[in-house]
Amino acid sequence: MKQTPGSTTPRATVATFSTVTMPAVSVANGAAPAAESSIDLPLFDISHESSELGREIVQAAAKHGFLWISGSPSSSSANDGDQGSYDLDAATVQNVFDIGSRFFKGASGAEKAACKITKNRGFVDMKVENLDPQSHARGDFKQCFNLAEPDPDTCAWRQPLPPQFSESAADAALRDFHARCRAVATRVLRLIALGLGIEDADWFVKSHEKSPYTVRMLYYPQLPAGTDYRADADIRAGAHSDYGSITLLFTRPGQPGLEILQDDGNWARVPISPPGYHDPDFPPIVVNIGDLLQFWTNGLLKSTVHRVVLVEEEQPLEQRPSASTAAALGTDRYSIAVFVQPADETVLVPVPSRAVSERAAAFQKVQIGSGGGSATAETLGQTTAGEHLLGRLRATYGIAVTG
Ligand SMILES: O=C(O)CCC(=O)C(=O)O
């Protein structure tokens, strides 16, 4: 059920779509200034599964392509005697952020180079990936590390790991996080199938069973005085849609920057949490629809374009940085995106749902997603999931890294 932040009845159904004006963004980003309004996404408690909840999620995914799910129970739901099932908790997620931060801030250049990206796995340095090459001459101002799920048969990682990830506690935590995220993704995929009225609720899950998901740890560093970042040309993560089925996105309190493109052509900021959200340490998880689900549903669900901008909130005078750091730009921002992707050989055909088949004729020429390598419904229908992913990676990294 849709959840009202801060309410005493967490599974009550209340519309939460709204756009509010936000103050104070002082850094322009790329070709467009940062958004002036923010959007409250609909929030769902997915600790229980039902067709009604599935329909509400599909409705939200059709309207925005983005929604929130709560990762922890609110105190009222914990007290109502009806224990839902939550796969994640604040400490688990914080631990993975800490592991990521130890790597980004602590690894030597040689350690990072030893696990440099190949075949979409490994470390990506500043300005290497360009998610929106049409708007930006050089790559995004971020570092990231793409960690594929370990092989379920051998339990081996599929890529070289830096020491910060391979020491035993970190290794165990990263495996555990992958497993928990898979469980969350499975629930979301089942709910979407239920909401679309597909008879087999595991219709999506089946094509995802043997496909490694990618946990992408992202670090957008504060830029030092003298940085060559140009506010009129550069960006933290360029405008793009995601390439797979769904993405689970974890963000940190006090570290904004995500924006989504609305139908009217304006950008809206996605706050870290809705007003009054029950858990300040564990913000809700953002779920967004990727290109493949847009294709699978003949455009019913939206693979919404999004970006990450460098924002500087207006601070009271007494909290402004001291003279020694006054020229630094932005603040450190961390996020974790979990890319949920079906097996490469998955042939892309519209799902068996009446709501979807009714849209078939109108959908053929429609552009799906945005950013390097995006496709039309016609071209996507002639490819597999793996070919689509490869085409998009080639456009954003260049052929060398996709192998
Ligand atoms: O860092 C974020 O909030 C979003 C990251 C993202 O969109 C991506 O890596 O595809």
Write the pLDDT tens digit of every residue in 363-389: 777 777 777 677 777 777 778 888 888
Output the CA 9–ligand 1 centroid distance in Å.
Answer: 32
Residue 3: per-residue pLDDT: 55
Going by alpha carbons, the residue nearest to atom 5 of ligand 1 is: 337
**Helix/strand number for the chain, H first, E second:** 13, 16
Going by alpha carbons, the residue nearest to atom 3 of ligand 1 is: 258
DSSP strand pairing (43-44 vs 66-69) = parallel
Q: Is residue 319 part of a domain?
A: no
d(CA 140, CA 136): 8
| Residue 59 backbone dihedrals phi, psi, to 5 degrees | -60, -45
| Residue 178 backbone dihedrals phi, psi, to 5 degrees | -55, -45
| Average pLDDT along the chain | 86
Output the CA 308–ligand 1 centroid distance in Å.
Answer: 7
Q: Is residue 3 part of a domain?
A: no
Output the CA 322–ligand 1 centroid distance in Å.
Answer: 30
Output the CA 38–ligand 1 centroid distance in Å.
Answer: 17
Question: Is the separation of the CB atoms in 362 and 81 below 8 Å?
Answer: no
Say which residues have a Cβ less than 8 Å from residue 239's Cβ, sequence separation at least 6. 30, 131, 132, 135, 261, 305, 306, 307, 370, 371
Output the CA 352–ligand 1 centroid distance in Å.
Answer: 31
Domain count across the chain: 1
Across the beta sheet with 267-269, what order do the strands follow?
18-21, 37-40, 267-269, 258-261, 306-308, 237-240
Q: Is residue 228 part of a domain?
A: yes
In the chain the first and final C-alpha atoms are separated, in Å, by: 43
Residue 29: per-residue pLDDT: 53
Q: Is residue 17 part of a domain?
A: no
Residue 311: per-residue pLDDT: 83
Where is mean pLDDT largest: 19-28, 240-249, 341-350? 240-249
| Domain of residue 60, CATH code | 2.60.120.330
pLDDT at 246 over 80: yes
| Mean pLDDT confidence for 74-103 | 87
Question: Is the separation of the CB atoms in 145 and 106 below 8 Å?
Answer: no
Specify the pTM: 0.88
Going by alpha carbons, the residue nearest to atom 8 of ligand 1 is: 337
Q: Is residue 16 part of a domain?
A: no
Residue 200 burial (CB count, 10 A): 12
pLDDT at 32 over 80: no
Q: Which H/E stretch holds residue 237?
A: strand 237-240
Name residues contacting ligand 1 (CB within 6 A): 216, 218, 237, 242, 249, 251, 258, 306, 308, 335, 337
Q: How far is CA 345 from CA 210, 211, 310, 341, in A?
A: 11, 10, 38, 11
Question: Is the separation of the CB atoms in 93 and 152 below 8 Å?
Answer: no
pLDDT at 31 over 60: no
Ligand 1, residue 286: give the atom nearest the CA.
3
Going by alpha carbons, the residue nearest to atom 1 of ligand 1 is: 335
Higher pLDDT, 126 or 314: 126
Single-letter code of the amino acid located at 370:
S
Q: Is residue 158 part of a domain?
A: yes
Query: Domain containing 268: what range?
Result: 43-72+85-312+327-397
Q: Is residue 6 part of a domain?
A: no
Q: Is residue 322 part of a domain?
A: no
